[in-house]
Chain A
Amino acid sequence: MKFLEKIVHKMEPKFSKGGKLEKWNPIFESFSTLAFTPAHVTKRGAHIRDGVDLKRTMMTVILAMVPCLLFGIYNTGHWELVAATGDRSMEFWANGGEKFIAGLFVMLPLIVVSYGVGLTIEFIFGMMRGHSLHEGFLVSGMLIPLIMPADVPLWMVGVATAFAVIIGKEVFGGTGMNIVNVALTARAFLFFAYPTSMSGDNVWMSGAEKFTDGSTGATALGDLATFMGDKATVAGEVVTNAAADGMSTFSNSYSVMDSFFGMIPGSIGETSVLACLFGAAILLITGIGSLRIMLSFAIGGLVGGFLMNAIGGNVYLDLPPYYHLLLGGFAFGAVFMATDPVTAAQTATGKIIYGFLGGLVAILIRVLNPAYPEGVMLAILFMNVMAPIIDHYVIQSNIKRRLKRVKTA
C-alpha cells in the first residue's frame, strides 16, 4: 500500500489550506481517510486513545444488516416469481439462484439511488461547512432500501432520501445532531406523500398486479386489517365466530414459522425475524447496540399485545402477543431503528423507558388505528421526539439526588 500512501502524500498539499484545490478538501479528506486512518496524534489529555472510531462503528452496523439484506433480496425475488407465475403455493427454497438474481435486480437499484442521492447531498453540505463526510449516512443509506416496499419507484426513493438527509439531518447540523431517525424520516415522507405506493395490496411484490386466483399481495398486517373489515359486516352473535375464522385464515397464510423466518411479503429487509436476530447478535456482541432498548422494546410490544388481548373482540385485538413481535417491522425496528443512539434516549434509565414505550405505542398504533396497518415506524418517530423529555426527567432525578445529599448531610 506504499504507492497509495505516496499518492495521498503527493496530493495532500494541493488540497490543504492555500492549495489550488482547497475548496475540494472535504472530498479529498473523505476518500483519503477511507483508505488510511489519518496520522492525527493526541495533543492534550489522554495520550493514547481507544481503537474504536465512528467509521468502524458504522461499518459494523452495516455488517449487522447484511443478514437482513441477503434474506431480503432472496425474499423479494421469491415473491416476484410468485407474482409472475400467480402461484402462491410455490416452494420457498426452490429455484434459489433465479430468485436471488431477481431480487438483486430490485434491490441493487434501490441501494444505488439511496447512497447516490444521500452521499451527494452529504458531500455538498460537507463542502459548504468545510468538513469531510461524517459517517452517519453510511448506515442510513443502507437502512432506507431495506424499509422500502419492493415495488417502490426509484425516483420516490431518491426524493425521500433527499428529504430525509436535508430536512431530517443537515438542517440540524449533520450526523449526531438529528432529532428523528433519518431512514424513518425517508419512509415517513413517502408514507404520507405517496400513500398508494407505500401500502395496500400491490406494492409489496415487485411486479405483482392482481393474482388470478383473487388473493392479494398484501402484507400480513394488511391482510389482518382486511379480515377485520370483513368482520364489521357480520352481525351480532356471529362476531366471535367470525373473529375465530379470521384468525385461522390468517394463521394459515402466515404461520408462526413463516413469519419468524420471514417467508412472507413485506418491506424488503424487515420480514425475517431470524435475520434481525443475527443482526442484533452482532450489535450486542460488539457492544454497539443497546440491549436495554432492544429488550425493553420487545417487552413493551408484548405488554401491548397482552393489553389488547385483554380487551379482545376482533382478530386484531385477539392476535397473540408473540405474533406481534414476529410480524411487520417490529423486529427490524427494535434492532436497527429504535437503537439509533443519536435519536434514542441517551441515559441508561431513559433507554429502558424509551424502548418500552416505543414497543407499546407501536402495538397501540398497529391495532387501534384503522388507517395504518403498521405502527412501528410511527411509534419510533414519536419516541424519537419524546426521547429528550425522557432524558430530561432522568437527568433531573440525578440532580435531585445530589441536592438531597446536601440536605441530609
Chain B
Amino acid sequence: MSKTVKLRKGLDIRLVGAANKVKTELSAPKTVSIKPADFHGMTPKMVVREGDSVKAGSIVFHDKYNEPVKCASPVSGKVEAIVRGEKRRIMEVIISADPEIQYDEVAPKDASSMSNDEVKAAMLASGLWMYIKQRPLDIVANPDNEAKAIFVSAFDSSPLAPDFDYVLHGKNEEFQAGLNALAKLTSGTVHLTLNGKAPADATFTGATGVQSNKISGKHPAGNVGTQMHHIDPVNKGEFVWSVNAQDVAIIGRYFLSGKYDARKTIALTGSEIKDPHYFEVISGANVANILEGQITSDNVRVISGNVLTGDKIAQDGYLGFYSNQITVIPEGDQLKFVLTKGWMGPGMDKFSNNRLMMSAWLAPRKKFRQDTNTNGEERAFVMTGELEKVFPFDILPMQLVKAAITDDIDGMEALGIYEVAPEDFALCEYVCTTKIDIQDKIRQGLDLIGEECM
C-alpha cells in the first residue's frame, strides 16, 4: 500500500556551503541548554532548581498544563542557571556538563513486546515524548489525543540540509527500535517517506513495520507537512504526529540501552564556514567549540537549523532541540547602491524564483552566498501566483495567509489551517515580494485556532 508522490511545485534554493561527508566527534560540551521556546506554546514548570545536580535522563521540567509531558536533561551535571525573561518567563535552562556523562539508567525494553500504554508511559516518563510533534498546530503532541498516523521523513530537502542517509548510516538497529516504539503509539500506520530521487540508505530501505512511501520533487518534498498532505491529510478533529528521523534513532537507543542518549550528528553549513562538515554532538550543546576557527568573516548570523526555518543564536549560543544543522550566513545590514548590488542591479549575486535576475539566465546552476538582507521593503500584496509556485498543497496559500493576518477563524478553518505548520510556508515567505513574515503570521493564526477551536 505504499504511495509514490511526484511534486511539480517547489524550489531548491542553491546556496554555498553544503557539508562534506566527514565527521568530527566532539567531547562532551561544557554546557548545554534547554530552551522552552523550542516547544511552542508550552509553559514549563521547573522540577529542578539552580544548583541541583542532574543525570542524563533526569527530568528538568514538565508542561505546567499537561503534567505527564516532561523534558529530560541530555547530560549529567549541575543546573547552572535558569534564565528568565519578561514576566519571569523561563527562557533557558543551562546545565554545566560533567566531562563523563552519567545516565539515569533503566532496564532495556523491547517496544514490540510491550503494550501500547506501556510504551507511551515509558516515553513520557523518560522525556522522549518531546520529540513527537503533532498537527494541527505544530506543537509537542498531546498524549491524550489519538494519532491517526505517524510520519517520519527519511530525508531533509531544505537548503544545505544534512544528509540523513549519511547521518543514520549503520544505525539500523536504533532506528528500527524507534519505529517499533512509534508503531505502538498509533492505531493507524507509521509512514516512512523516502526520497524518490535518490537511493536511500539501508537504514531506511530495511525498515519494517512501516508503510514506506516515496516522494520526489523540490523542497519542500522532505517536509512532513507535504508528505502528510499527499499521503494521509489531516482533517478537522484528527491528529497526525511526526518525528524527525534522527530523533527516532534517539528513541530507539533508549529502548535498546535504557539510557537517554541524546547524541546526534549535525551538519555545520553555510557560506561563512571554512570547512563545512558533520559533527557528532549532544542535543542542546553549546556551539562555541563547534564554530571555533570556522567562521571566515566578522559580520555573520549563526542559525540553529536551516536558513528557512531556523532560529538565530549567538556565536556562543546553544543548538535547538529539534535542530540537525547549524548554518552561518553573512548579515545583510548594509545599504546597497541601486545599480550595483541594489534593487535595479544586474542581480548576478542574487537568487530569485522569478527570472528577474541576470543570474537566472547566465548562471542557472550557480550556488549563492545569500545574506540576511530582505532585498526590499515590506509592501502590501501586489503580485499574485508567486506563493502558489512553491507550495505543493491543494491549499490556496495567499488566501490562507490573508485569513491568518485578519484573524479570520472560519476562513482559516475552511482554507486548511489544520494541515499546515509555519515551516510549510517557509518557501512562500522566501519568495514573496511583500517581504511579510509569513511564517510568523501562520504561527499567530495557529495560536488563535489553538485557543478558540481545540
Name A's B-contacting residues (CB within 8 A). Answer: 1, 4-5, 8, 33-57, 59-60, 132, 134-136, 173-177, 285-288, 290, 341-342, 344, 346-348, 351, 395, 398-399, 401-402, 405-406, 409
Instruction: Tell me which of B86-94, B114-122, B343-351 binds A.
Output: B343-351
Q: Are B341 and A176 in contact (CB under 8 A)?
A: no
Q: Return chain A residues, CB-CB under 8 Å to B198.
A: none
Q: Are B352 and A46 in contact (CB under 8 A)?
A: no
- Asked if A36 meets B354 with Cβ closer than 8 Å, knowing A48-B430, A52-B375, the reply is no
- Asked if A50 meets B335 with Cβ closer than 8 Å, knowing A176-B379, A288-B354, A409-B235, the reply is no
- Asked if A50 meets B344 with Cβ closer than 8 Å, knowing A45-B438, A57-B356, the reply is no
Q: Are A55 and B344 in contact (CB under 8 A)?
A: yes
A83 to B277, CA, bound (A): 75
Find the B residue at minimum CB distance from A56: B343
Q: Are A60 and B356 in contact (CB under 8 A)?
A: yes
- Asked if A49 meets B373 with Cβ closer than 8 Å, knowing A57-B356, A398-B395, A399-B415, the reply is yes
Q: Return chain B residues, CB-CB under 8 Å to A33.
A: 377
Q: Return chain A residues, CB-CB under 8 Å to B331.
A: 41
A48 to B13, CA, bound (A): 10
* Shortest distance between the CB of B290 and any CB in chain A (Å): 19
Q: Are A54 and B382 in contact (CB under 8 A)?
A: yes
A contact patch SS: loop
- Asked if A285 meets B337 with Cβ closer than 8 Å, knowing A175-B382, A347-B396, the reply is no
Q: Return chain A residues, CB-CB under 8 Å to B384.
A: 290, 341, 344, 346
Q: Are B382 and A37 in contact (CB under 8 A)?
A: no
Which chain B residues numbered 257 to 310 have a C-beta less than 8 Å away from chain A?
Answer: 301, 303, 307-310
- Asked if A54 meets B430 with Cβ closer than 8 Å, knowing A347-B396, A398-B394, A405-B233, the reply is no
A344 to B383, CA, bound (A): 10
Q: Return chain B residues, CB-CB under 8 Å to A344.
A: 384
A45 to B434, CA, bound (A): 14
Q: Which of A35, A54, A173 contacts B379 (CB 8 A)?
A: A54
Q: Are A4 and B337 in contact (CB under 8 A)?
A: yes
* Shortest distance between the CB of B395 and any CB in chain A (Å): 7
Q: Are A175 and B380 in contact (CB under 8 A)?
A: yes
Is B440 among interface residues, defined by CB-CB distance under 8 A?
A: yes
Q: Are B377 and A47 in contact (CB under 8 A)?
A: no
Find the A residue at minimum CB distance from B380: A176
- Tell me which of B301, B308, B331, B379 has the highest count of chain A C-beta atoms within 10 A of its own C-beta: B379
Q: Which of A36, A44, A136 contacts B382 (CB 8 A)?
A: A136
Q: Are A41 and B333 in contact (CB under 8 A)?
A: yes
Q: Are A46 and B308 in contact (CB under 8 A)?
A: yes
Given A5-B337, A34-B338, A347-B396, 12 new contacts (CB under 8 A)? A1-B337, A37-B373, A39-B334, A44-B440, A45-B309, A45-B437, A45-B439, A46-B308, A51-B357, A52-B376, A341-B385, A348-B385
Is B203 among interface residues, defined by CB-CB distance under 8 A?
A: no
Q: Return chain A residues, CB-CB under 8 Å to B375.
A: 37, 49-53
Q: Are B372 and A44 in contact (CB under 8 A)?
A: no
Q: Are A41 and B440 in contact (CB under 8 A)?
A: no
Q: Are A402 and B416 in contact (CB under 8 A)?
A: yes
Q: Are B355 and A285 in contact (CB under 8 A)?
A: yes
Listed A/B pairs (26) with beta-carbon separation below 8 Å = A39-B334, A45-B308, A46-B307, A46-B429, A46-B430, A47-B327, A50-B430, A50-B433, A52-B354, A52-B375, A52-B433, A53-B376, A54-B376, A57-B356, A57-B382, A175-B382, A288-B383, A341-B383, A344-B384, A346-B399, A348-B388, A395-B399, A402-B235, A402-B416, A405-B233, A406-B236
* Shortest distance between the CB of A169 and any CB in chain B (Å): 11
Q: Which of A48, A57, A132 contacts B371 (CB 8 A)?
A: A48
Q: Return chain A residues, CB-CB under 8 Å to B336.
A: 36-37
A4 to B337, CA, bound (A): 9
Q: Are B352 and A35 in contact (CB under 8 A)?
A: no
Q: Return chain B residues, CB-CB under 8 Å to A53.
A: 343, 375-377, 379, 433, 435
Q: Return chain B residues, CB-CB under 8 Å to A347.
A: 396, 399
Q: Interface size (B, Cβ < 8 Å)?
A: 74
Find the A residue at minimum CB distance from B357: A51
A40 to B377, CA, bound (A): 7
Q: Are A40 and B374 in contact (CB under 8 A)?
A: yes
A49 to B379, CA, bound (A): 14
Q: Return chain A residues, CB-CB under 8 Å to B439.
A: 44-46
Find the B residue at minimum CB distance from A342: B382
Q: Are B335 and A8 in contact (CB under 8 A)?
A: yes
In order of increasing CB-CB distance, the 8 nearest A-B pairs are A53-B376, A51-B350, A176-B380, A45-B439, A36-B335, A37-B342, A51-B352, A287-B354
Q: Return chain A residues, CB-CB under 8 Å to B427.
A: 46
A39 to B336, CA, bound (A): 7
Q: Return chain B residues, CB-CB under 8 Å to A60.
A: 356
Q: Are B356 and A55 in contact (CB under 8 A)?
A: no
Is B332 among interface residues, defined by CB-CB distance under 8 A?
A: yes
Q: Return chain B residues, CB-CB under 8 Å to A45.
A: 308-309, 422, 426, 429, 437-440
Q: Are B370 and A48 in contact (CB under 8 A)?
A: yes
* Shortest distance between the CB of A64 and any CB in chain B (Å): 12
Q: Return chain A residues, CB-CB under 8 Å to B431.
A: 50, 52
| Chain A proximity mask over B71-89: 1 for CB below 8 Å, otherwise 0 | 0000000000000000000
Q: Return chain B residues, CB-CB under 8 Å to A177.
A: 380
Find the A residue at minimum CB distance from B347: A51
Q: Are A286 and B356 in contact (CB under 8 A)?
A: yes
A59 to B398, CA, bound (A): 24
Q: Which of A43, A132, A395 contacts B437 (CB 8 A)?
A: A43
Q: Return chain B residues, CB-CB under 8 Å to A57.
A: 354, 356, 382-383, 433
Q: Return chain B residues, CB-CB under 8 Å to A54.
A: 376-377, 379, 382-383, 433-434
A110 to B75, CA, bound (A): 74
Q: Return chain B residues, CB-CB under 8 Å to A132.
A: 377
Q: Return chain B residues, CB-CB under 8 Å to A287.
A: 353-356
- Tell me which of A4, A37, A405 has the highest count of chain B C-beta atoms within 10 A of its own C-beta: A37
Q: Which of A49, A135, A175 contacts B430 (CB 8 A)?
A: A49
Which chain B residues numbered 403 to 454 have a C-beta less than 8 Å away from chain A?
Answer: 414-416, 422, 426-427, 429-435, 437-440
Is B312 among interface residues, defined by CB-CB distance under 8 A?
A: yes
| Chain A proximity mask over B357-393: 1 for CB below 8 Å, otherwise 0 | 1000000000000111111110111111100100000
| Chain A proximity mask over B154-174: 1 for CB below 8 Å, otherwise 0 | 000000000000000000000
- Tell me which of A44, A136, A405 has the highest count of chain B C-beta atoms within 10 A of its own C-beta: A44
Q: Which of A37, A43, A46 contacts B335 (CB 8 A)?
A: A37
Is B329 among interface residues, defined by CB-CB distance under 8 A?
A: yes
Q: Return chain B residues, CB-CB under 8 Å to A288.
A: 354, 356, 383
A342 to B398, CA, bound (A): 13
Q: Are B309 and A50 in contact (CB under 8 A)?
A: no
* Shortest distance between the CB of B342 and any CB in chain A (Å): 4
- Tell me which of B308, B337, B377 has the highest count of chain A C-beta atoms within 10 A of its own C-beta: B377
Q: Which of B308, B340, B373, B440 contacts A40 (CB 8 A)?
A: B373
Q: Return chain B residues, CB-CB under 8 Å to A399.
A: 414-415
